Amino acid sequence: QVQLVEAGGDLGPPGGSLRLSCAASVTLLRFKTMGWYRQAPGKERELVATLTYIGNTKYVDSVKGRFTISRDNAKITVYLRMNSLKPEDTAAYYCNVYPPGKDYWGQGTQVTVSS
C-alpha cells in the first residue's frame, strides 16, 4: 500500500519561503515521475510541478522561477522549495505520482500566505 506523507506547510508572510516534503512508503516511487499539486478553497486541485526520475522538471506558469521541485531517491522523499510566496499560493499542497494515482492522495499540508 502506497502512503505519501506531506509536511512543512505553515503560515507565512508574502515574500517568505517554505520547503515542503513528501515521504513515500514504497521504494518503487523512486522510478516514478512525482508531482506536487495544490487545492485552494473553492477551486479545483491543480498540478504545480513535476519531476521525472532522470531529473526533468515542469512547473505551472504561476510558480515558475519561484518554486523548485527536487527529490532524494535514497530517502524516497520529494521536496518543494517555495520562494517569494504570494497570497494566491495559499492552498493545501499534496504530492502524488504523475499522472496522479487516485488511491495515493495523502492528507496534504496547508500553506497560508498572509500578512
Give, for all 115 residues of the chain, the pLDDT tens digit.
Answer: 888 999 999 999 999 999 999 999 887 788 899 999 999 999 999 999 999 999 999 999 999 999 999 999 888 899 999 999 999 999 999 999 999 988 899 999 999 999 9
List of long-range contacts for 74-79, beta carbons under 8 Å, 24+ apart: 75/23, 76/23, 76/24, 76/25, 76/26, 76/27, 76/29, 76/30, 77/21, 77/22, 77/23, 77/24, 78/21, 78/22, 78/24, 78/34, 78/36, 78/51, 79/19, 79/20, 79/21, 79/22
Residue 27 has what pLDDT?
A: 78
Residue 63 has what pLDDT?
A: 98
Residue 75 has what pLDDT?
A: 83
Phi, psi of 50 (to 5 degrees): -130, 155
Rounded distance between C-alpha atoms, residue 83 and residue 94, angstroms: 17
